[in-house]
Every structure is written in structure tokens, then in C-alpha cells.
């Protein structure tokens, strides 16, 4: 292996220090971190970073907002749910003033440039709302490039709904329809009760000229795909963000293999027509 190759491999696994400058508890066991990175940091909606907690390990976390600039630094947001040793350490112990390692960004991201002129449908369940949030922000920022925007968001309970401080404001985006759902009823909840996939029946859009972006538990995404297809949405216009265990983030270790794809390198966003042969096979 030559020196140039060694440097390229080393760059793939090198991380940058990121300082936590803000945090928000979005829901029980779910926290958003605001990370400041020195200099510019180019990352696209739908991509992910490997966040390194010193002494514990790394976790892949999707971008949860469009990056912003403060002076000569970039601020990025990651929303993290406590489900394992590293994520528990993040949600329970990492706070303002902490430093974490940041490696990335990795993955392909949502194909927003390729769907200009089309209606946009966003379907998110649970923590799957986080990778979809930048789509809403991007469409709002470049509103004249897209048609109607439908945002369908669901959670197990009203308390589990992420970004409660802003989702209701999405209806103020021109030509936008917001539908919220909770699996269970609760006092004060004035929106739909039931699974988020039921909201697909109320989409206000042209299925033949729409791009649909879906993220959430895999069972929920499968139901969403079936309902979307039954309504006439095209297979090659439905995009899914998949989640698999990852270690390297660059397609080397093989941990995230999905059929002949690697979720970290070929995804995490996949056109449904590309993966339909694998989507319904148990254990892949």
C-alpha cells in the first residue's frame, strides 16, 4: 500500500472535535445536540455522521437540521434516542461544554435536487422524524423549487412527538399541509389518533408527480410503501432511509450489508424500486 493510499484511508477514519453548545430534550430519552465545528462543514439532508464518545465508542446519527454558521464555525444538529450504551451516555451525560468526535459526513442523502418541480410528501414515525426534518427546512428555504408539501408525522404518544416547538408552525409554510398522529389518545391531543401510515389517506397531492420520503421503524415503512403504491405513487418516486448497525461508515466492515448494498455507503437513502426485492425478505 502506497503512502497516498494510506493517507486516504486515514482520512476516512479521522474525526474532528465538536463542542456541544446547546441541547434540547425533545421527548423522554431523546435529546438534540447542537454541535459546533471549527470552519466549514458541508453536509446534505439525509446524510449521517459517526459521533465518537471518548472511551465508549461511535454511533451513526443522521443530520437533524440544515447546518448554520456562527462566525467561522459550523453548527449542526443531531437528535439521539437512548437505546444502547453509547446513546445512553450521550442522552444522559453529554451536555453543553462537552467535546465529542465527529467523523463524516457519510451516505448519499435525500435526492432533493433531482425532484425539483414535484410535490413533496414526508412520512415520519418516531425518531425517523429527525432525518426528515432537514427536508422540510430545505423546501421552506427554496420554496419556489417545489410543488405542494405534505408532512405526515407520528409518535407513540403525544409526549414522544419530536420538535413540538416547531411542527405546528410548518403549516405556515406556503402550500403546505401538516398532519400529526399519536398511536394513543391523551388529554389535550387534538390531532389524529392511530398509526401515522393512516394519514396517507389524507395526502393532498398528485401521486404521479410526487416524491415521497419515508423514515421510521421498518415495519411502519413497509406499511407506508403498501399504502402509497395502492394510491398510485410510483415505485421509483418513493425513498426510504434505512437503519442498520454500522461500525465503519464507509462500506469496509460489512456490518450494515443489505442484500448487495451497504447502507452506509450506498444509502442510507434508497429508492424503493432499487430495494423492493430485499425489503420483504426477513433477516436481511
The helix (run of H) or strand (run of E) holding residue 26 is strand 16-27
Give the model confidence (pLDDT) of 14-71 as tens digits. Answer: 889 999 999 999 999 999 999 999 998 889 999 999 999 998 999 999 999 999 988 8
Q: Which grid coordinates are listed for 243?
A: 437503519
CATH number of 112-278: 3.40.50.80
> Of 86-90, 108-112, 226-230, 269-273, which gets the smallest average pLDDT?
86-90
> Is 215 annotated as ligand-binding?
no
> Is 248 annotated as ligand-binding?
yes
Residue keyed to cell 463524516: 104
Q: What is the pLDDT of residue 14?
A: 83
Pick the CATH number of 16-106 from 1.25.40.10, 2.40.30.10, 2.90.10.10, 2.40.50.140: 2.40.30.10
Report the alpha-carbon distance of residue 167 to residue 163 in Å, rounded.
6
Q: Which grid coordinates are listed for 273?
A: 424500486
* pLDDT at residue 1 is higher than 70: no
Give the model confidence (pLDDT) of 6-29 as tens digits. Answer: 435 456 678 899 999 999 999 999
Percent of the chain with pLDDT over 70: 96
3-state secondary structure 193-259: ECCHHHHHHHCCCCHHHEEEEEECCHHHHHHHHHHHHHCCCCHHHEEEECCCCCCCCCCCCCCCEEC
* pLDDT at residue 252 is higher than 90: no
* pLDDT at residue 3 is higher than 60: no
Locate CATH 3.40.50.80 in the chain: 112-278
pLDDT bucket at 4, cuts 50 / 70 / 90? very low
Cα 89 to Cα 18, 86, 157, distances in angstroms: 16, 5, 24
> Is 264 annotated as ligand-binding?
yes
Q: What is the DSSP string of 213-228?
A: EEES-HHHHHHHHHHH
Please give the mean pLDDT across all residues of the chain: 93
* pLDDT at residue 5 is higher than 70: no
* pLDDT at residue 262 is higher than 70: yes
Q: What is the pLDDT of residue 2?
A: 47
Locate CATH 2.40.30.10 in the chain: 16-106
What is the pLDDT averaged over residues 90-103? Answer: 95
Q: What is the pLDDT of residue 11?
A: 65
Q: What is the pLDDT of residue 213?
A: 99
* pLDDT at residue 153 is higher than 90: yes
Q: Which grid coordinates are listed for 28?
A: 423522554
> Is 256 annotated as ligand-binding?
yes
Give the model confidence (pLDDT) of 180-200 as tens digits. Answer: 999 999 999 999 999 999 999
Amino acid at each position: 500500500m502506497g503512502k497516498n493510499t494510506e493517507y486516504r484511508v486515514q482520512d476516512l477514519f479521522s474525526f474532528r472535535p465538536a463542542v456541544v453548545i446547546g441541547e434540547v430534550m425533545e421527548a423522554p430519552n431523546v435529546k438534540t445536540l447542537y454541535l459546533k465545528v471549527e470552519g466549514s462543514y458541508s453536509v446534505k439532508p439525509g446524510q449521517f455522521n459517526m459521533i465518537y464518545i471518548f472511551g465508549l465508542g461511535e454511533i451513526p446519527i443522521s443530520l437533524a437540521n440544515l447546518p448554520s454558521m456562527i462566525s467561522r464555525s459550523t453548527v449542526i444538529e443531531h437528535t439521539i434516542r437512548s437505546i444502547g450504551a453509547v446513546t445512553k451516555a450521550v442522552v444522559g451525560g453529554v451536555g453543553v461544554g462537552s467535546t465529542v468526535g465527529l467523523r463524516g459526513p457519510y451516505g448519499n442523502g435525500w435526492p432533493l435536487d433531482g425532484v425539483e418541480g414535484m410535490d413533496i410528501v414526508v412520512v415520519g414515525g418516531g425518531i425517523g422524524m429527525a432525518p426528515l426534518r432537514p427536508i422540510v427546512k430545505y423546501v421552506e428555504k427554496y420554496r419556489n423549487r417545489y410543488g405542494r408539501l405534505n408532512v405526515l408525522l407520528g409518535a407513540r404518544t403525544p409526549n414522544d412527538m419530536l420538535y413540538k416547538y416547531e411542527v405546528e408552525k410548518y403549516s405556515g409554510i406556503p402550500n403546505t399541509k401538516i398532519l400529526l398522529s399519536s398511536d394513543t389518545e391523551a388529554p389535550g391531543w387534538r390531532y389524529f389518533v392511530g398509526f401515522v401510515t393512516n394519514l396517507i389517506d389524507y395526502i393532498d397531492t398528485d401521486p404521479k408527480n410526487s416524491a415521497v420520503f419515508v423514515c421510521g421503524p421498518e415495519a411502519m415503512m413497509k406499511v407506508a410503501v403498501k399504502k402509497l403504491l395502492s394510491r398510485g405513487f410510483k415505485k421509483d418516486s418513493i425513498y426510504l432511509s434505512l437503519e442498520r448497525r454500522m461500525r465503519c461508515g464507509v462500506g469496509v466492515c460489512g456490518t450494515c450489508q443489505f442484500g448487495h448494498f451497504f447502507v452506509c455507503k450506498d444509502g442510507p437513502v434508497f429508492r424503493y424500486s432499487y430495494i423492493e426485492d430485499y425489503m420483504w425478505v426477513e433477516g436481511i
